């Protein structure tokens, strides 16, 4: 494999790779603004310029300096090159570029949402001069409302054009343009258009400075207060890798995690903003049992005890129909099916309704927004089939209910982001006993014998199988709100309550081990993709007593 040396480190590379990407792959930092691996290369910010020495074939391949600094984002590596990003010439360029980019910048970091994750801030500190020679009046640029999700603070823009290239190359929607010339150049929306496509909010993540901001996140939190938990899209079948960002038990935003095999660097706006249901006022928060007065928060243990006792009686009453929602994890499905299988020999297993909205849509970059609005229909079926050779789908389940199948008890799970219960389904249930494990108040809530409040996917951990049969684990971001519990924990509690034992605390790894050992679901031991662990970076911030 050919190699080059960057700042003293020998780095191997694939022919055709650019110097900047080789450096990044080898954990060598070269400052860059306009370069993004998902976009075309324009080399217009000039901060990545470095001094390059190359073997000269006309002089016995002796190393000779290339007279000009080269943009590392646009220069293909050549065997034996030696690159200096910290030579006096390279450093002088970095300082000049930083000074230039800050000429008209308002330096309003205290009120800017990007503060704390801004490359202007970081590079000023690492590569800037610390002083500006600019004494004139700064140019003032307008703020612009670009569309339903994005605001533009033009004063802060450094004209890297990442956002414009995104709408040209990734979405193909072309809403954004570069307008004007020289110092008056501005990013703008094409006349008569709004930045309103399925992927629009990705430009917020792409913007290396605080110019493009998220309306939904505006002034909500300082970013350094946010904890980030790796997760998976829990709303569609995409399996997109996401990061759930939260503080004090409350989610503030969801952003993409890079996974080149699935979502690359992007997510849809639907996935980005769909978490709102987690803090919805219509969440079920406390178990309820028909015939009992609603429980007060102080009576939570009593409420759970009553709900489990009534559920236990219902499970022992005869033929049980268990409908596992495709919104649940594989571990949830496994423990619920195991619970029912232990209580009765007469059971029917069904996969809940799998919502579809419109058609799949593939963008010019190859990114697909899926019509299937459930994260785990395939995983739930895969698990249930280990308990029954005849797992039925939702329509068949409804037909059997309407056809008078002698179900004594129905255990129904939901966890959908909106009311999923149709009048037909309600009618088909007829007078059967319903144990409802769900997240939102629906038409079924008043009808159920027992209502058990479940946790959303951000409040529990587990595994989803996406549309391409990829199993991916996700972690719990926040503790369940109020008195909710994950379905896996509910199943474990019920199992223990039936046996008169102390409940086990749900452990996704132990559950997957059991799934592999007892039910031959070996793929849950060897085939689950875990989130990449990123090393914590020690802060170099000094705490000063005041």
The answer to whether 454 touches 448, Cβ cutoff 8 Å, is no
Residue with tokens 């290339």: 66
Residue 291-330 contact track with ligand FES, rule CB under 6 A, x = bound? ----------------------------------------
Tokens of 318: 């005869």
Comparing CA positions, the residue from 147, 55, 129, 137 lying closest to residue 91 is 129
Residue 187 is a binding residue for ligand SF4 (CB under 6 A): yes
Q: Where are the beta strands (DSSP E) in 248-344?
A: 250-256, 288-289, 320-324
Among 6, 47, 158, 350, binds ligand SF4 (CB under 6 A): 158
Tokens of 112: 């800017």
What is the total count of residues that contact ligand SF4 (CB under 6 A)?
13
**3-class secondary structure for 490-539?**
HHHHHHHHHHCCCCCCCCHHHHHHHHHHHHCCCHHHHCEECCCCCCCCCC
Comparing CA positions, the residue from 287, 296, 299 lying closest to residue 448 is 287
Rounded to a whole number of angstroms, the minimum distance from the CB of residue 50 to ligand FES is 10
What is the total count of residues that contact ligand FES (CB under 6 A)?
11
Residue 164 is a binding residue for ligand FES (CB under 6 A): no
Residue 163 is a binding residue for ligand SF4 (CB under 6 A): yes
Residue 69-88 contact track with ligand FES, rule CB under 6 A, x = bound? --x-x---------------
Looking at beta carbons only, is 43 or 223 nearer to ligand FES? 43
Residue 160 is a binding residue for ligand SF4 (CB under 6 A): yes
Tokens of 49: 């310029």
Taking the C-alpha atoms of residue 376 and residue 86, their distance in angstroms, rounded to an integer, is 49
Residue 209 is a binding residue for ligand SF4 (CB under 6 A): yes
Residue 234-263 contact track with ligand FES, rule CB under 6 A, x = bound? ------------------------------
Residue 48-67 contact track with ligand FES, rule CB under 6 A, x = bound? x-------------------
Tokens of 60: 């016995």
Taking the C-alpha atoms of residue 389 and residue 384, their distance in angstroms, rounded to an integer, is 9
Rounded to a whole number of angstroms, the minimum distance from the CB of residue 43 to ligand FES is 4
What is residue 304's three-state secondary structure? Answer: helix
Those residues with Cβ within 8 angstroms of residue 215's Cβ, 6 or more apart along the chain or in another chain = 148, 149, 150, 151
Looking at beta carbons only, is 49 or 244 nearer to ligand FES? 49
Give, in order, the Cα–Cα distances in Å from 392 to each of 140, 349, 367, 488: 63, 6, 32, 21
Q: State the burial class of residue 500 (Cβ atoms within 10 Å of its Cβ: 0-12, 13-18, 19+).
A: exposed
Cα Rg of the chain (Å, integer): 28
Looking at beta carbons only, is 17 or 220 nearer to ligand FES? 17
**Segment lying near ligand FES (by CB under 6 A), choices 26-34, 302-310, 329-337, 397-405:** 26-34
Report the partner that residue 48 touches, choosing among ligand FES, ligand SF4, none (CB closer than 5 to 8 A by kind). Answer: ligand FES
Among 7, 32, 163, 474, binds ligand FES (CB under 6 A): 32
Looking at beta carbons only, is 84 or 166 nearer to ligand SF4? 166
φ, ψ for residue 131 (rounded to 5)?
-135, 155
Q: Buried b vs exposed e over 258-278: b needs ≥16 C-beta within 10 Å?
A: ebeebbbbbbbbbbbbbbebb
The answer to whether 472 touches 239, Cβ cutoff 8 Å, is yes
**Segment lying near ligand FES (by CB under 6 A), choices 44-52, 114-122, 137-145, 337-345:** 44-52
φ, ψ for residue 534 (rounded to 5)?
-105, 135
Q: Give the footprint of ligand FES on residues 418-447 (CB under 6 A).
A: none
Among 212, 254, 323, 369, binds ligand SF4 (CB under 6 A): 212
Tokens of 109: 């970091």
Looking at beta carbons only, is 33 or 252 nearer to ligand FES? 33
Among 21, 124, 161, 264, binds ligand SF4 (CB under 6 A): 161
Residue 460 is a binding residue for ligand SF4 (CB under 6 A): no
Residue 102 is a binding residue for ligand SF4 (CB under 6 A): no
Residue 284 is a binding residue for ligand SF4 (CB under 6 A): no
Looking at beta carbons only, is 32 or 460 nearer to ligand FES? 32
Provide the 8-state DSSP code for 372: B
Report the partner that residue 272 touches, choosing among ligand SF4, ligand FES, none (CB closer than 5 to 8 A by kind). Answer: none
Among 30, 97, 112, 157, binds ligand SF4 (CB under 6 A): 157
Report the partner that residue 45 touches, choosing among ligand SF4, ligand FES, none (CB closer than 5 to 8 A by kind). Answer: ligand FES
Residue 47 is a binding residue for ligand SF4 (CB under 6 A): no
Percent helix, strand, coil in the chain, to 5, is 30, 20, 50
**Rule CB under 6 A: which residues touch ligand FES?**
32-35, 43, 45-48, 71, 73
**Rule CB under 6 A: which residues touch ligand SF4?**
157-163, 187, 206-207, 209, 211-212
């Amino acid at each position: 494999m050919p190699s080059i040396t960057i700042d003293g480190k020998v780095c191997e590379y694939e022919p055709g790779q650019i110097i900047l990407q080789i450096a990044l792959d080898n954990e060598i930092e070269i400052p860059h603004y306009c370069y993004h691996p998902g976009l075309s290369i324009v080399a217009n910010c000039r901060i990545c310029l470095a001094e390059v020495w190359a073997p000269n074939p006309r002089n016995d391949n002796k190393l000779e300096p290339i007279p000009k600094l080269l943009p590392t984002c646009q220069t293909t590596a050549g065997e034996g090159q030696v690159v200096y990003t910290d030579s006096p010439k390279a450093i002088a360029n970095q300082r000049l570029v930083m000074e230039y980019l800050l000429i008209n910048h308002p330096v309003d970091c205290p009120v800017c949402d990007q503060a704390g994750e801004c490359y202007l801030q970081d590079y000023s500190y690492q590569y800037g001069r610390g002083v500006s020679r600019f004494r004139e009046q700064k140019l003032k640029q307008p703020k612009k409302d670009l569309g339903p999700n994005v605001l533009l603070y033009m004063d802060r823009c450094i004209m890297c054009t990442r956002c414009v290239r995104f709408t040209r190359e990734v979405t193909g929607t072309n809403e954004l343009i570069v307008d004007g010339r020289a110092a008056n150049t501005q990013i703008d929306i094409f006349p008569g258009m709004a930045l309103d496509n399925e992927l629009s909010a990705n430009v917020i993540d792409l913007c290396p400075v605080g110019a493009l901001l998220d309306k939904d996140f505006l002034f909500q939190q300082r970013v350094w207060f946010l904890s980030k938990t790796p997760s998976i899209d829990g709303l569609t079948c995409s399996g997109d890798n996401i990061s759930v960002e939260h503080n004090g038990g409350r989610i503030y935003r969801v952003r993409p995690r890079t996974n080149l095999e699935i979502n690359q660097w992007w997510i849809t706006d639907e996935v980005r903003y769909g978490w709102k249901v987690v803090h919805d006022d219509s969440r079920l928060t406390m178990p309820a049992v028909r015939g009992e007065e609603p429980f007060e928060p102080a009576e939570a243990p009593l409420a759970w005890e009553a709900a489990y006792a009534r559920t236990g009686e219902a499970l022992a009453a005869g033929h049980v129909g268990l409908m596992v929602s495709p919104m649940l994890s594989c571990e949830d499905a496994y423990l619920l099916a195991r619970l029912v299988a232990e209580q009765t020999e007469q059971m029917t297993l069904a996969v809940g309704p799998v919502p579809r909205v419109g058609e799949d849509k593939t963008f010019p970059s190859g990114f697909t927004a899926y019509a299937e609005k459930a994260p785990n229909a395939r995983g739930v079926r895969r698990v249930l089939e280990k308990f029954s050779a005849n797992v039925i789908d939702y329509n068949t389940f409804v037909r059997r209910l309407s056809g008078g199948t002698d179900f004594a008890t129905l255990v129904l799970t939901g966890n959908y982001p909106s009311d999923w219960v149709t009048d037909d389904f309600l009618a088909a249930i007829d007078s059967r006993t319903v144990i409802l494990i769900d997240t939102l108040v629906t038409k079924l809530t008043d009808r159920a014998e027992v209502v058990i409040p479940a946790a959303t996917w951000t409040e529990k951990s587990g595994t989803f199988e996406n549309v391409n049969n990829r199993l991916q684990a996700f972690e719990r971001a926040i503790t369940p709100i109020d008195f909710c519990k994950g379905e896996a924990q509910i199943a474990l509690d019920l199992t223990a309550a039936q046996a008169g034992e102390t409940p086990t605390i749900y452990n996704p790894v132990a559950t997957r081990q059991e799934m592999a050992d007892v039910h031959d679901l070996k793929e849950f031991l060897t085939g689950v993709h875990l989130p990449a662990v990123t090393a914590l970076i020690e802060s170099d911030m000094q705490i000063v007593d005041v």
